Amino acid sequence: MIRIEPSPPIQFRGSVPGDKSISHRALILSALAEGETVISGLLRSADTEATWRCLAALGGRLSELVDGTVRVSGSAGHLLAPASSLYAANSGTTARLLLGVLAGGQVSARLEGDRSLSERPMDRVVTPLRAAGARIEELGTPGRLPLAVRPARLVGGRHTVPVASAQVKSALLLSGLMAEGRTAVALPAATRDHTERMLARFGVEVEREVLAGGETVALVGPRTLRSPAALAVPGDPSTAAFLWAAAAITGGQATVEGVCLNQRRIGFLGLLREMGVAVSWQVEREELEPVGSVTVAGRPSRAVDVPPEAVADMIDELPLLACVMAVAPGQSRVSGAGELRVKESDRIAAMAEGLCQLGVACEATEDGWRIQGGPRVHGGEIDAHGDHRVGMALAVLALAGEEASELAGGPIWQVSYPSFLSQLVAAGGRAQEI
Ligand code: S3P
């Protein structure tokens, strides 16, 4: 349980842990490549540890060096059959990307997850992988984990994916490395392109076309990845967003340095600006990804509407955005975000419940929320529903409460942001584990 007290305006300057999406990909591509890769800035959290453990079980050799970097000796695509089930824990990225790797991996493996992950849809990956020739067996509820993957020869093809999912796109690109011929993936909207960028660093160029109606990516297989020797993971904008939101909610200021400024990840900052929050950012270097500093200061002065086409670029920040909306005068709306119902929890329902418990007028719709913002929120008893982003978002909003709040559940921030509580407290947030 954490107790959150009414707090003074947040003041933060510093960096945040490595990007979660990029960290998963850095581990996976390094483990599949020919040669050794040293990764700096890797996120060490429950989600990335799940990927690490699964790769180790598939024969990957991963170790932490004394300077905190991580060394991965690649297998040049030759996986070992794991001795027991692969456990993806709470991590959708681990499960979906590994399904892409296993599909043509020539070993038999069984993949499982925790209760939350076992309720999340895997058919969005399994159906196109089967079309490419993968042999995947559902061991429980159709379309869900646990799944068993058997050795199979894959062929290329064109996949039209109905959801704007970077995980599905990435899984299919990874399977395409082992398939004979051209694998193309069409999505209804552009999504984070970390896999494409990183594949280029491993010697595989991905063709990419971004159109008004979505994006198409393609590669020709089979291909072996060549290690770039070193990879640097930038700070996670989805993690920094908790500090930026804390600044906006309490009327403080937060500068985060060394953060990934990939366009597909910073829609949240544009929305804060539309709400009248002062936001400035600067790209300082372009390596694997654009990297720079962002400062967010002051409270929101007006409500905002998030239309469906804006959703993909801020999908993980929407629970947090709902919290900023709660203190922005007027009625804000989010629509076209039905994907939130199949994240680590049903985030539409969980956030509507949490906001109501903090005295905010919030109505859940099928694919978003209607939120009536005001200057104050109450304190209350809030529940993370086992979801790291829901728990951290509500804790941040509770900083602006008129009374203390209590957040139930364990330290769920270990999933993606292990230093959440310590960084929040260092920035002036009054929060503690009790
Ligand atoms: C991710 C993609 C998104 C995001 C998730 C991480 C990734 O999921 O919500 O936190 O690393 O590719 P979807 O692909 O399901 O949209």
Q: Which atom of ligand 1 is nearest to the CA of 21?
A: 11
Using left for φ > 0, alpha for ψ between -120 and 50, and beta otherwise, residue 59 falls in left
CA distance 359 to 196: 43
β-strand pairing of 109-112 with 86-87: parallel
Query: How far, in Å, is the centroid of ligand 1 from the Cα of 342?
Result: 11
In 3-state terms, what secondary structure has residue 31?
Answer: helix
Neighbouring C-beta atoms of residue 336, cutoff 10 Å: 16
Å from CA of 167 to ligand 1 middle: 5
Mutate which of 170, 268, 315, 415 for ligand 1 pocket (most atoms within 8 A of beta carbon): 315
- Ligand 1 residue neighbourhood (C-beta within 6 Å): 21, 93, 165-167, 170, 192, 315-316
Measured CA to CA, the distance from residue 59 to residue 141 in angstroms comes to 29
**Helix or strand (DSSP H, E) at 150:** strand 147-150
Residue-range domains of the chain with CATH: 2-17+234-433 (3.65.10.10), 20-232 (3.65.10.10)
Neighbours of 127 (CB within 10 A): 15
Output the DSSP codes for 340-357: GGGSSS-HHHHHHHHHHH
Helix (H) or strand (E) segment spanning residue 214: strand 214-221
- Ligand 1 atom with the smallest distance to the CA of 97 is 12
* Farthest CA pair distance, the chain: 61
> Strand order in 135-138's β-sheet?
86-87, 109-112, 147-150, 135-138
**Residue 375, pLDDT above cutoff 90:** no
pLDDT above 70 covers what percent of the chain?
A: 100
Please report, rounded to a whole number, the percentage of residues in the chain having pLDDT higher than 90: 98
Contact 363, 352 (CB under 8 A): yes
Is a pLDDT exceeding 90 seen at residue 409?
no
- Residue 20 Cα to ligand 1 middle (Å): 10
Mean pLDDT for the stretch of residues 307-331: 97
Residue nearest to atom 9 of ligand 1 (CA): 316
Chain length of the chain: 434
pLDDT for 410 equals: 83
Q: What is the pLDDT of residues 284-304, one digit of tens each?
A: 999 899 999 999 999 999 999
Which has the closest alpha carbon to 161: 111, 96, 115, 221? 96
**19, 93, 260, 314: residue to mutate for ligand 1 pocket, most atoms within 8 A of CB:** 93
Give the pLDDT band of residue 75 (cuts 50, 70, 90).
very high
Token look-up 């400024």 returns: 261
* Torsions phi, psi for 426 (to 5 deg): -60, -25
Backbone angles phi, psi at 181, to 5 degrees: 100, -165
Hey, which of 21, 311, 389 would you mutate to test ligand 1's pocket, going by the most ligand atoms within 8 Å of its Cβ?
21
**Span 214-241, pLDDT tens digits:** 999 999 999 999 999 999 999 999 999 9
Using alpha carbons only, what angle is made at residue 428 by residues 424 and 431, rounded to the nearest 5 degrees? 55
Amino acid at 53: R
Query: Cα(431)–Cα(173) distance, rounded to whole angstroms?
Result: 42
Ligand 1 atom having least distance to the Cα of 195: 12
Q: Please answer whether residues 216 and 191 qualify as being in contact, where contact means their C-beta atoms are separated by less than 8 angstroms.
A: no
CA 91–ligand 1 middle distance (angstroms): 10
Residue nearest to atom 4 of ligand 1 (CA): 316
Tell the residue nearest (CA) to atom 10 of ligand 1.
Answer: 316
Distance 93 CA to ligand 1 centre (A): 6
Q: Is 305 a catalytic residue?
A: no
- Hey, which of 96, 167, 387 would you mutate to test ligand 1's pocket, going by the most ligand atoms within 8 Å of its Cβ? 167
Distance 247 CA to ligand 1 centre (A): 25
pLDDT at 212 over 90: no
Mean pLDDT, rounded, of the chain: 97
Catalytic residue among 47, 193, 313, 316: 316
What does the buried/exposed string (b/e) look like for 95-114 if buried means 16 or more CB atoms within 10 Å of the residue's CB? bbbbbbbbbbbeeebbbbbb
How does pLDDT run across 80-100, given as a tens digit for each residue? 999 999 999 999 999 999 999
Q: Which of 149, 201, 145, 137 has its CA nearest to residue 178?
A: 149
Query: Could you tell me the pTM of the whole model?
Result: 0.98
Q: Taking Cα atoms as reference points, which of 196, 209, 210, 203 lies closest to residue 229?
A: 203
Q: How far is the CA of 170 from the centre of ligand 1 (A)?
A: 10
Q: Which atom of ligand 1 is nearest to the CA of 25?
A: 11
Query: Average pLDDT in the 399-413 region?
Result: 94
